[in-house]
Structure 1
Amino acid sequence: MLPNYFNTKPLTDYMRHDLNIPADREAGSLSAGRVGRIAALAAASSAAYAATGHLLALLALLPPPDTKGEGADEPDPFWSRLRQASGASALRPGSLRIAVVAALDGHGAGLAARLLEAFGAMTRDQRDATALLVGEHLTDDGDLPGPAATAGELWLRDVELTAWHVVHHHRRPPTRLAREQFRDAWRRV
Structure 2
Amino acid sequence: MIVRRHLSEDDELTQHLTHQLNTPLEWPEEAGLNTQHVAKIAAAAACDVAFNQAANGHLVDLFAALPLPGTPEGREFWAELRRAAGDAALYIDPANAGGPFFDYLVKGNEGGIASRMLSFMGELDDQQRDAVAKVIGDALDHNAFGAGGRYLGKLWLRDAETSAWHVLLASRRAYETEDDRKRFLQAWRDA
TM above 0.5, one fold? Answer: yes
Counterpart selection for 1:114 from 113, 116, 124? 116
How far apart are 1:106 and its partner, in Å?
Answer: 4.8
Partner of 1:162: 163
Deviation, 1:67, is 6.0
Are positions 1:136 and 2:138 aligned together? yes
Q: Which runs of structure 2 are paired with 1:1-189 in the superposition (5 Å)?
A: 41-43=44-46, 44-66=48-70, 76-87=75-86, 88-96=89-97, 97-138=99-140, 140-171=141-172, 172-189=174-191
Give the CA deviation at 1:167.
Answer: 1.1
* Alignment partners' CA distance in 1, 2:124 and 2:53: 28
How much has 1:168 moved relative to structure 2?
1.2
CA distance in 2, matches of 1:106, 1:58: 19
Check conservation: 2:94, 2:101, Cα contact below 8 A: no
Tell me the distance in 1 between the aligned counterparts of 2:148 and 2:165. Answer: 26
CA distance in structure 1 between the aligned counterparts of 2:188 and 2:95, rounded to whole angstroms: 47
Partner SS state of residue 70, structure 2: coil
Q: CA deviation at 1:173?
A: 3.1
CA contact (8 A) 2:142 2:148 kept: no
Higher RCO (C-alpha under 8 Å, 6+ residues apart): 1
Contact map agreement 1:83 1:91 (CA 8 A) in 2: no
CA–CA separation in structure 2 for the residues paired with 1:182 and 1:175: 11
| Structure 1 residues 104 and 60: CA distance shift in structure 2, 3 A | farther
Letter in 2 for 1:123: D
What is the total number of aligned residue pairs between the two structures?
152
SS in 2 for 1:76: helix
Q: CA deviation at 1:128?
A: 0.7
Secondary structure of 2:124 counterpart: coil
Unaligned runs of 5+ in 1: 1-30, 69-74
* Alignment RMSD (CA, Å): 2.7
**TM-score, structure 1 length as denominator?**
0.70
Once superposed, which parts of structure 1, at least 4 consecutive aligned residues long, lie more than 4 Å away? 35-41
SS at match of 1:79: helix
Deviation per CA, 1:6-45, whole angstroms, max 9, x where unpaired?
xxxxxxxxxxxxxxxxxxxxxxxxx869x96876553322
1:14 aligned partner: none
Q: Return 5+ residue gaps in structure 2 as ranges.
A: 1-31
8 A Cα contact 1:135 1:153, kept in partner: yes
Paired letter, 2:58: H
Q: Return closer, same or farther for 1:188/1:91 CA change in 2, 3 Å cut-off.
A: closer
Determine which structure has more spread, i.e. the larger CA radius of gyration. 2
Deviation digits for residues 95-141 of structure 1, max 9, x if unmatched? Answer: 23433221244533101101110111012111111100100111x44
